[in-house]
Amino acid sequence: MRYVLQRVGFLFLSIWAAVTINFVLPRLMPGNPAGAMFAKFQGRMTPMALKALEAEFGFNNQPLIIQYLHYIGGLFTWHLGLSFLYYPTPVTAVIASSLPWTVGLVGAFTILSVFVGTSLGILIAWRRGGLLDSVLPTTFMFLQSSPAFWVAFMLLFIFGFTLSWFPMSHAYSNSLVLGFTPPVVVSIIYHAVLPGATIFLSSLSGWMIGMRNNMINTLGEDYIVFAEAKGISGGRLLFSYAARNAILPQVTSFAIALGGIVNGSILVETVFSYPGIGYQLTSAVSSEDYPLIQGTFLIIALSVLIVNFIVDMLLVKLDPRVRTGGVSS
């Protein structure tokens, strides 16, 4: 119980810290949003229009402490302000329209990657030194070491542009009206193949090699040798004895990966013009859109912290040592 309270306290403290840093950081950037907007128009906007823009965004000239109090107050009521980039659209609306795409795409393929990678890791650890063990890690290490946007662009160029097997951009066909209908669902899956493959390929080897190494460590433990000597079947030994223990570090990594879903695909989304939150964040930063930067970072910080909290709780279930603070009872 004390452990749980500790974690809850830590959760709130870290949320406050994240929220405050979130407020300070964008304001340390040089320039201002009206100027950034003006820059985008490069001479197509007259100086009169800049005056009008500054008047529009003028509420930003209040003292910092007042802005901070407004901001904290807004968080409790979920009023994150109006985006400058999409002025006057509320930040919450921008996030609500882009977050589901990212969570769907990156979430699905991260989970797939974890599942496939971990399974492959168990398999090649069991048959270590075999053909698969030498081929798979090398291949996927190569893909993982290439930058994700490079992999994305290669896939786009080969399978989208040259071969025309898959669409080059967007989350679904532009000729469809979004709705929960079979053609839309098929189109969404079809459009997710290339960006999904990028995410899958560039994260698979981490899961595979991580699990393989954990497995090899665990398989070398005395209790495994003892169990094997007692004649326990191979499958039971592999999954119930070895994999159950070897998977603990994977769960922690998975938590970090889940938290990173929100921001983990910025470049992939940009390459495929995918209407997700990662792209939204980059454009918010380049437009000095403080409210949108804050909103997006808030979502990232909250998702990382909350997922970590959930995993801390889960570990209590999975690993009895956590409950007792490392003292064996």
Which residues here bind another protein, judged by CB under 8 A?
Answer: 30-32, 35-39, 41-49, 51-53, 55-56, 58, 82-90, 93-94, 97-98, 153, 156-157, 160-161, 168-172, 174-175, 177-178, 269-275, 279-280, 283
Taking the complex as a whole, the smallest distance from the CB of residue 92 to another protein amounts, in Å, to: 11
**Closer CB to another protein, residue 23 or residue 84?**
84
**Closer CB to another protein, residue 30 or residue 63?**
30
Of the CA atoms within 13 Å of residue 23, those in its CB half-sphere come to: 20
Taking the complex as a whole, the smallest distance from the CB of residue 16 to another protein amounts, in Å, to: 30
**Closer CB to another protein, residue 90 or residue 295?**
90
Closest CA to 295 of 103, 76, 101, 75: 75
Q: How far apart are CA 265 and CA 100, in angstroms?
A: 13
**Closer CB to another protein, residue 90 or residue 196?**
90
Taking the complex as a whole, the smallest distance from the CB of residue 123 to another protein amounts, in Å, to: 37
Residue 288 near residue 26 (C-beta atoms within 8 A): yes
CA distances from 146 to 18, 132, 265 (A): 31, 21, 15
Amino acid 7 reads: R
**Closer CB to another protein, residue 123 or residue 268?**
268
Residue 121 near residue 216 (C-beta atoms within 8 A): no
Strand runs (DSSP E) across the chain, as ranges? none
Region for residue 87 given its phi and psi (left: phi exceeds 0; alpha: psi -120 to 50; beta: otherwise): beta
For 28-50, give the secondary structure using H, E and C: CCCCCHHHHHHHHHCCCCCHHHH
Six token digits for residue 13: 């403290």
Map tokens 């107050």 to a residue: 73
Taking the complex as a whole, the smallest distance from the CB of residue 72 to another protein amounts, in Å, to: 22
From the CA atom positions of the chain, what is the Rg in Å? 24
Count other C-beta atoms under 10 Å from residue 136's C-beta: 20
Closest CA to 202 of 113, 69, 80: 113
Residue 290 near residue 37 (C-beta atoms within 8 A): no
Q: How far apart are CA 159 and CA 149, in angstroms?
A: 15
Taking the complex as a whole, the smallest distance from the CB of residue 200 to another protein amounts, in Å, to: 20
**Closer CB to another protein, residue 34 or residue 258?**
34
Taking the complex as a whole, the smallest distance from the CB of residue 1 to another protein amounts, in Å, to: 45
**Closer CB to another protein, residue 148 or residue 255?**
148
**Closer CB to another protein, residue 67 or residue 282?**
282
Taking the complex as a whole, the smallest distance from the CB of residue 216 to another protein amounts, in Å, to: 41
**Closer CB to another protein, residue 86 or residue 241?**
86
